[in-house]
Chain A
Amino acid sequence: MLKTYHYPKFKYERPAEAGTNRLKHARAVVVGAGPVGMAAAIDLAQQGVPVLLLDDDDTVSIGSRGVCYAKRALEILDRLGVGDAVVDKGVSWNVGRSFFRDREVYNFNLVPEADQKRPGMVNLQQYYLEEFLVARCRELPNIEMRWKNRVISVNPGDEDVRLKVETPDGYYVAAADWLVVADGAKSPIRKMLNLEIDGKIFMDRFLIADVVMKADFPAERWFWFDPPFHPNQSALLHKQADNVWRIDFQLGWTADPEEEKKPEKVIPRIQAMLGDEREFELEWVSVYTFQCRRMAAFRHGRVLFVGDAAHQVSPFGARGANSGIQDTDNLAWKLKLVMDGRAPESLLDSYSAERTCAADENLLNSTRSTDFITPKSRASRTFRNAVLGMAGKHAFARVLVNSGRLSVPACLAESPLNTPDAEAFAGRMAPGMPMDDAPISIGGRPGWLLDRVGGQFTLLRFADDAAGDTYAELADDPIPVRTLTLTPAADPKGVAAHRYDARPGTAYLIRPDQHVAARWRAPTVAAVRAAVARATCNA
């Protein structure tokens, strides 16, 4: 097995403190160098925070694992410096098709709207994403990566969090001002701290296989309910980079995982699915179960949980890695402000509040998908099959077909950090929403709106000309606000003005994570300051 990818081995280096009594001080420690932990480390480092990144292994994810990266995650990865690498290597797709038995009953297109930089979804094996993120971490001088460093105990205090770390050269203790926990679904640190994570296990098993083959199938997501080649169960086919295809088979709860992983068992299943004699190679096979659950709070004093350590969903909908990356997007700027004493610690509670809300939305949607895909009673199977049977003919039934509601960003509409609208606006860009992208042209050079905001507070201002910017003084505030003025020349197609329902004078306050904090038709400088204060718990 394994033909297309060579797993890198990252060099373990003996930490200076290993085997000594010397304390390793760190302003921020991130535990877990998966996609979410590295996203957290890079975001913090880009904001000037030195980060110690610990991982108990010395390579990337084994097997493709997290495959689908949604538009919002790609936009965040752009800000972290790996967006191009992921999109260039990955397989972009927008169309998904659902089949019932031998017929197509429904299809969707993820990007009905043009004029956005990033596609709806990119498929890429998780190991590639991790490799790109490791390379980006290495470019940042304020990230210290320590491989083969395993945290074996945690002692949270008022002033810092003490971590006992095991290395091949003995133990040492790290004192972290703040600890970001990204150690995955089984989260050893969550267990060490005796923190609960509540939810349910789904009584089903799934076989996933990475298969190398030359195939002329289009780059689309194909999902089968009860297909002739795998009766009474579901199956999924997805294209990844390097002619590697990802195939999922629902197996049922009683399947024996060890037996099902054997090539003599897997290969006939895939042959039946492909329906012809084409050649393929198995790269990786795994059998998994999943849980839908989350922690009650993602902040525990100086300990902050992100990604699978904090919440887990079913895989239908690509809401795992995508939501974890959004966690770090939400957390990093808040942590930086709190570290610098420019915002109170309660801002970190807003991280927990906003992201538990997002997790609930992900849990709701992925649980519904699971209930549709794997009906657990005769009545629910009858309803499911009735929907699928009518979907070819009736529009109302097509909308009910649920083969996974794919990751969309949380809109944070209820967040207390938002300044509610005082004036009428049309369109989607209400306070709390992640920004929609638009093609813009600054200084005659074409580019994208989302590439011009993020990492700090920005006042996005629409005006007939660049003169008359009365907001420049905000750039010198303790929490600086940069102004980005869009004139008709900068918005040649008028897409931004349309998406933001803008008139001359309209201004949006954008958070460092590219969510809308407030909007006005013609704000005073004082109104903008009040909204910044509100968005940072300084009000």
Chain B
Amino acid sequence: MPLNLAPNFHAAGKRYLNAYSPGDDFYEMLLDAHRDLSDEQSELMNARLILLLANHIGDLDVLREALAAAREDV
């Protein structure tokens, strides 16, 4: 399966009236997780998060694609 670049945030059994709501839910979770961390701590947390999610995805073809998309324009 190729890298999914379409909006994909969702929660089991939950209906959303506004298309932006599940993405906003995630973004709030993300910022909350970083709250009160120093810049160094945030960096470390981001690294750990990437490793956790990469392992969850597992498929090296998808991860290769994601790495390329992330690197673009940086």
On A, residues with C-beta under 8 Å from B are: 365, 368, 371-372, 377-380, 383, 389-390, 393-396, 399-400, 402, 405, 408, 411, 428
Interface contact B31-A395, CB-CB below 8 Å: no
A393 neighbours in B (Cβ, 8 Å): 72
**Contact residue among A379, A389, A400, A402 (Cβ-Cβ distance under 8 Å from B34):** A379
* A368-B28, A394-B69 known; A377 vs B42 contact (CB < 8 Å): yes
Q: Determine the distance from Cα of A343 to Cα of B55 in the docked complex, in whole angstroms.
A: 59
Task: Please tell me if B30 contacts chain A, counting CB pairs below 8 Å.
Answer: yes
Which of chain B's residues 30-69 have a Cβ closer than 8 Å to chain A? 30-31, 34, 37, 39, 42-43, 46, 69
* In the A-B complex, the 5 residue pairs with the closest CB atoms: A379-B42, A399-B7, A394-B5, A379-B34, A399-B23
* A378-B39, A378-B42, A379-B42 known; A408 vs B30 contact (CB < 8 Å): no
Q: How large is the interface on B (under 10, 10 to 19, 20 to 34, 35 or more residues)?
A: 20 to 34
**Contact residue among B4, B24, B42, B73 (Cβ-Cβ distance under 8 Å from A402):** B24
Q: Determine the distance from Cα of A373 to Cα of B27 in the docked complex, in whole angstroms.
A: 13
**Contact residue among B27, B30, B39, B73 (Cβ-Cβ distance under 8 Å from A389):** B73
- 19 A-B pairs in the complex with CB atoms less than 8 angstroms apart: A368-B24, A371-B31, A377-B39, A379-B34, A379-B37, A379-B39, A379-B42, A380-B31, A383-B27, A383-B31, A394-B69, A395-B5, A399-B23, A402-B20, A402-B24, A402-B27, A405-B24, A408-B17, A408-B18
Interface contact B23-A400, CB-CB below 8 Å: yes
Q: Determine the distance from Cα of A389 to Cα of B18 in the docked complex, in whole angstroms.
A: 23
Q: Determine the distance from Cα of A529 to Cα of B42 in the docked complex, in whole angstroms.
A: 58
A411 CB, nearest partner CB in chain B, Å: 6
Q: Determine the distance from Cα of A377 to Cα of B46 in the docked complex, in whole angstroms.
A: 14
B2 CB, nearest partner CB in chain A, Å: 13
Q: Determine the distance from Cα of A408 to Cα of B5 in the docked complex, in whole angstroms.
A: 27
Chain A: which residue is nearest B36 at the CB level? Answer: A377
B60 CB, nearest partner CB in chain A, Å: 21
Interface centre among A379, A390, A408, A411 (most CB of B within 10 A): A379
A399 neighbours in B (Cβ, 8 Å): 7, 19-20, 23
Chain A: which residue is nearest B46 at the CB level? Answer: A379
Interface contact B34-A377, CB-CB below 8 Å: yes
Task: Please tell me if B6 contacts chain A, counting CB pairs below 8 Å.
Answer: yes
Interface contact B7-A428, CB-CB below 8 Å: no
A380 neighbours in B (Cβ, 8 Å): 31, 34
A379 neighbours in B (Cβ, 8 Å): 34, 37, 39, 42-43, 46
Interface contact B7-A396, CB-CB below 8 Å: yes
Interface contact B31-A405, CB-CB below 8 Å: no
Interface centre among A378, A394, A399, A405 (most CB of B within 10 A): A399
Interface contact B20-A405, CB-CB below 8 Å: yes
B8 neighbours in A (Cβ, 8 Å): 396
A509 CB, nearest partner CB in chain B, Å: 21
Q: Determine the distance from Cα of A372 to Cα of B27 in the docked complex, in whole angstroms.
A: 9
Q: Determine the distance from Cα of A400 to Cα of B39 in the docked complex, in whole angstroms.
A: 23
Q: Determine the distance from Cα of A383 to Cα of B69 in the docked complex, in whole angstroms.
A: 15
Q: Determine the distance from Cα of A372 to Cα of B31 in the docked complex, in whole angstroms.
A: 10
B17 neighbours in A (Cβ, 8 Å): 408, 411, 428
Q: Determine the distance from Cα of A402 to Cα of B42 in the docked complex, in whole angstroms.
A: 22
Q: Determine the distance from Cα of A377 to Cα of B72 in the docked complex, in whole angstroms.
A: 24
Q: Determine the distance from Cα of A380 to Cα of B69 in the docked complex, in whole angstroms.
A: 20
Q: Determine the distance from Cα of A393 to Cα of B69 in the docked complex, in whole angstroms.
A: 10
Chain A: which residue is nearest B32 at the CB level? Answer: A371
Interface contact A395-B42, CB-CB below 8 Å: no
Interface centre among B7, B8, B31, B34 (most CB of A within 10 A): B31
A411 neighbours in B (Cβ, 8 Å): 17
Interface contact A405-B18, CB-CB below 8 Å: yes
Q: Determine the distance from Cα of A405 to Cα of B17 in the docked complex, in whole angstroms.
A: 13
B56 CB, nearest partner CB in chain A, Å: 17
Q: Determine the distance from Cα of A536 to Cα of B69 in the docked complex, in whole angstroms.
A: 56
Q: Determine the distance from Cα of A396 to Cα of B26 in the docked complex, in whole angstroms.
A: 12
B39 CB, nearest partner CB in chain A, Å: 5
A221 CB, nearest partner CB in chain B, Å: 16
A365 neighbours in B (Cβ, 8 Å): 24
Chain B: which residue is nearest A392 at the CB level? Answer: B73
Q: Determine the distance from Cα of A371 to Cα of B26 in the docked complex, in whole angstroms.
A: 13
**Contact residue among A372, A390, A395 (Cβ-Cβ distance under 8 Å from B6):** A395
Q: Determine the distance from Cα of A482 to Cα of B19 in the docked complex, in whole angstroms.
A: 36
A108 CB, nearest partner CB in chain B, Å: 9
Chain A: which residue is nearest B4 at the CB level? Answer: A396
Q: Determine the distance from Cα of A393 to Cα of B17 in the docked complex, in whole angstroms.
A: 25
B20 neighbours in A (Cβ, 8 Å): 399, 402, 405
A268 CB, nearest partner CB in chain B, Å: 32
Chain A: which residue is nearest B30 at the CB level? Answer: A383
Q: Determine the distance from Cα of A394 to Cα of B69 in the docked complex, in whole angstroms.
A: 10
Chain B: which residue is nearest A386 at the CB level? Answer: B70
Chain B: which residue is nearest A397 at the CB level? Answer: B5
B19 neighbours in A (Cβ, 8 Å): 399
A310 CB, nearest partner CB in chain B, Å: 23
Q: Determine the distance from Cα of A378 to Cα of B38 in the docked complex, in whole angstroms.
A: 9
Q: Determine the distance from Cα of A421 to Cα of B28 in the docked complex, in whole angstroms.
A: 33
Q: Given contacts A371-B28, A405-B18, could you give 14 more A-B pairs where the C-beta distance is less than 8 Å?
A: A368-B27, A372-B27, A379-B39, A379-B42, A379-B43, A379-B46, A394-B5, A394-B69, A395-B5, A396-B7, A399-B7, A405-B20, A408-B18, A428-B17
Q: Determine the distance from Cα of A394 to Cα of B42 in the docked complex, in whole angstroms.
A: 25
Q: Determine the distance from Cα of A77 to Cα of B43 in the docked complex, in whole angstroms.
A: 50
A113 CB, nearest partner CB in chain B, Å: 14
B25 CB, nearest partner CB in chain A, Å: 9
Q: Determine the distance from Cα of A365 to Cα of B4 in the docked complex, in whole angstroms.
A: 26
